[in-house]
Amino acid sequence: MYSEEFVEQGAAEFDPYAYYPSQSEYELHTGDPRQDLEYERQYQQSTYIVPEVIKNFLVYFQKCVHEQNLFEIQNAYENGFNKLTDRFFKNSAWPEAEIIAPVVGDDPVFLILYRELYYRHIYARVATGPTQEQRFESYYNYCNLFNYILSAESPVPLELPNQWLWDIIDEFIYQFQSFSQYRCKLGKKSEDEVEHLRRNPKIWNVHSVLNVLHSLVDKSNINRQLEVYTSGGDPDSVAGEFGRHSLYKMLGYFSLIGLLRLHSLLGDYYQALKVLENIDFNKKNMYSRVPACQITTYYYVGFAYMMMRRYQDSIRTFSNILLYIQRTKQMFQNKAQLYDQINKQNEQMYTLLAICLVLHPMRIDESVHTQLREKFGDRMLKMQKGDVLEFQNSFSFACPKFLSPCPPNYDATPANFHKEPFMQQLKVFMDEVTQQALLPTIRSYLKLYTTLTLSKLAAFMETSEEDLRNHLMCFKHKMKNVVWTGSCSGLEGEFQSASEVDFYIDQDMIHIADTKVARRYGDFFIRQIHKFEEVMKTLKP
Amino acid sequence: MAEAMRAHVAELLKGIDRYNPENLATLERYIAVQAMENAYDLEANLAVLKLYQFNPNYFQTTVTAQILLKALTNLPHTDLTLCKCLIEGVRLEEKPLTKIIELADLLESCQFKLFWRVLQEDPDIIVGIQGFEDSIRKFICHVVGITYQTIEKEHLAELLGGIPDAQTNQWISKYGWKIEENGQTVFVANQEENIKTKNITEKITFENVAQIMAR
């Protein structure tokens, strides 16, 4: 039942992607038990027919891309592709590019884009994940894509929706992350696979990834554009030939976020924040209309601030984005994968916020605070009591999947090599937690008094007066964080203390000041009144 | 010389060039210059640590030690934490890095007297870092300045490392603190100004509710 066409395309050995050409959309059982069994076995090994509806979709999709019709491309990308995935390829791969190539006239650019979707789908939905071969091929495909975009003499005639551009950068780094962890786990690999890895150090090499991101940033002049935009000017005036083109500009912007993520994964929080120094997070900017990008950005920024002991900045960052997610959650209901991812990041950010508030208690938005208390009340209580394990667990759950930039020693790798970058960051975090171990206890005693002698507090805490003086100095030192005060770069800031409980020592007396903030009702009521009015408006005929 | 090198180094760290291990020689020399001349450049130092992270064969313990000590001179900034995040755990267990981390821990938890004692056990560690002890004293005075309204002069001297009276007086005048009449206590700052009990009540301005009331 093979037509000659398909046999030519490499069905020589057993080809799991062998196709039966068919007019109908579904190949029904033939009635012959042996044939049916054979069919079912091959079907399970992801053999399938290329249905007409898919061929038609691909042709249509290609047309949209050629016509640079952004609206239709977005529609096909978000709805068309996903609907067909759910219908035919829920847990298996789409047809290989070679198979559908004739349908789209061997169009090289479209095939690169198709492969991007093809491999992304394998990573996301195929249970066994990508094979080593597929990992390598996906990498080559990205090289082709970025080469096409970057080596052109003039801007390439391609327009893609921002969501897709973000997804490309996001996935590119994700696959690099996945590969870095994959190559460290040598236990279950065959000799051949290890040899192949050893011989190809350039594949998914950290320098290549950095090179791509930096090149996109440079080509689009995005930093200059952002500088001018923030000071109220017209970015086009400094954009240059490529930067004026939306594809390059947005890829440049998303690459900055990509660098933020990459540096964070490697533990370089300073550099992570530095690459964003031209982005003004307070200005509602036109670059931030992709929700997934916003959320990812705020997650990594908040995490970097936390590791730098800038708890106030971290808390502010997380509160902002958690509010944003609360308000916009409705929008993602029908996009299952996005919804799951946002949910996960939501949970992680609440966890990190909980940690920061334990280390640096302060007032936050009422609605975020309520959610936090509901979900994390117990955990926060445990951490306040100094439960080290709780800190570790929370950190492990919420932190990024740290990586090492170097390949392992393929001949002799210790068992948990892939965990070492994580252990390293965990240690730094736990060192900080340990140094601050007594602070919650001190705080709780201070809250009870307006004045207190050193000797009395020392007795309460069962420590010597000298040690107590050290602890009190430590409290003051740790509570004074660098806080961002409004200049553009997120790295800048002044030392401030926003501790609700503050004190000073005069001779051997501690004088304590407590900041009591009355509950704020105004905002809440005003918001509810507005909401109610909206409802009334929709009810009126 | 540090100032002269600063601009040149900044160029090297632009864009993709910062990951080029061939720049290591220049950067390492720059760190030695910082140590000798009591200058400081956090970005350059972090860049070196990152190059070591990417190219473990080039890792140099002496240079790393210099970087960590320089980071301590910038307390209360969390530069040392940033450095630790870029250094493999196993490396931090080498001498003299363990000692430096131990000293850092004591400083972060404000156990200043113990810090000076531990440093005395192994003073060679800071050889070559110009002005290290004074930078630490600056940090200690900063912490004292935010914690105390008055402090015993003897106690202050201990915190600063058991320094002689004349030196203590120098630090006191440097920060504008005053020695009281009894010659024993030092008036640090009028903390009462900054640290007062506050009651923050909510103020609802008219503008906020005007919209709602105008129905």
Q: What pLDDT digit, counting tens, does each position of A170-200 carry?
A: 999 999 999 998 888 877 778 888 888 888 8
Chain B residue with minimum CA distance to A467:
B111
Instruction: Report the CATH number that the domain containing residue B130 is assigned in CATH.
Output: 1.25.40.250
Contact A307, A268 (CB under 8 A): no
B89, A207: Cβ pair inside 8 Å? no
Instruction: Using a pLDDT cut of 90, give the percent of chain A over it.
Output: 43
Q: Which range, A40-44, A519-523, A536-540, B165-169, has the best average confidence (pLDDT)?
A: B165-169
Nearest CA of chain B to the CA of A259: how many Å?
12
The full 3-state SS of chain B, as one line of letters, equals: CHHHHHHHHHHHCCHHHHHCHHHHHHHHHHHHHHHHHCCCCHHHHHHHHHHHHHCHHHCCHHHHHHHHHHHHCCCCCCHHHHHHCCCCCCHHHCCCHHHHHHHHHHHHCCCHHHHHHHHHHCHHHHCCCCCHHHHHHHHHHHHHHHHEEEEEHHHHHHHCCCCCHHHHHHHHHHCCCEECCCCCEEECCCHHHCCCCEEECCCCCHHHHHHHHCC
Chain A residue with minimum CA distance to B184:
A507
Per residue in A280-292, pLDDT (tens digit) is 776 666 666 788 8
| Below-70 pLDDT ranges, chain B | 193, 195, 200, 202-203, 207-208, 211-212, 214-215
| Per-residue pLDDT at A33 exceeds 80 | no
Best of A506, A520, A524, A532 to disrupt the B interface by mutation (most B CBs within 10 Å)?
A506
Residue B143: other Cβ atoms inside 10 A: 21
Per residue in B190-209, pLDDT (tens digit) is 777 676 777 767 667 776 67
Instruction: Using a pLDDT cut of 70, give the percent of chain B over it.
Output: 93
B89, A424: Cβ pair inside 8 Å? yes
Q: Peptide bond preceding B96: is omega within 30 degrees of 0, i.e. cis?
A: yes
Residue A23 has what pLDDT?
35
Per residue in A65-111, pLDDT (tens digit) is 988 888 888 888 888 888 888 888 888 888 888 888 888 888 889 88
**Alpha-carbon separation of residue A490 from A260, A428, B90, B141 (angstroms):** 12, 22, 32, 28
| Per-residue pLDDT at A165 exceeds 90 | yes
Per-residue confidence band for A257, with pLDDT thresholds at 50, 70 and 90: very high
Alpha-carbon gap, residue A347 to A13, rounded angstroms: 47
Alpha-carbon gap, residue B139 to B107, rounded angstroms: 9
| Per-residue pLDDT at A360 exceeds 90 | yes
| Per-residue pLDDT at A163 exceeds 60 | yes
| Average model confidence (pLDDT) across chain A | 84
A270, B42: Cβ pair inside 8 Å? yes
Dihedral, CA of residue A466, residue A467, residue A468 and residue A474, to nearest 10: 120
B191, A268: Cβ pair inside 8 Å? no
| Per-residue pLDDT at A244 exceeds 80 | yes
Q: Does A474 touch chain B (CB under 8 A)?
A: yes
Whole-complex ipTM: 0.90
Per-residue confidence band for A486, with pLDDT thresholds at 50, 70 and 90: confident
Mean pLDDT of A452-469: 92
Residues 106-135 of chain B whose Cβ lies under 8 A from any Cβ of chain A: 108-113
Contact B188, B145 (CB under 8 A): yes
A480, B200: Cβ pair inside 8 Å? no
| Per-residue pLDDT at A10 exceeds 50 | no
Structural domain harbouring B61: 1-214
Residues 135-164 of chain B whose Cβ lies under 8 A from any Cβ of chain A: 143-144, 146-151
Instruction: Using a pLDDT cut of 70, give the percent of chain A over it.
Output: 89
Alpha-carbon gap, residue A468 to A218, rounded angstroms: 54
Q: How many domains does chain B have?
A: 1
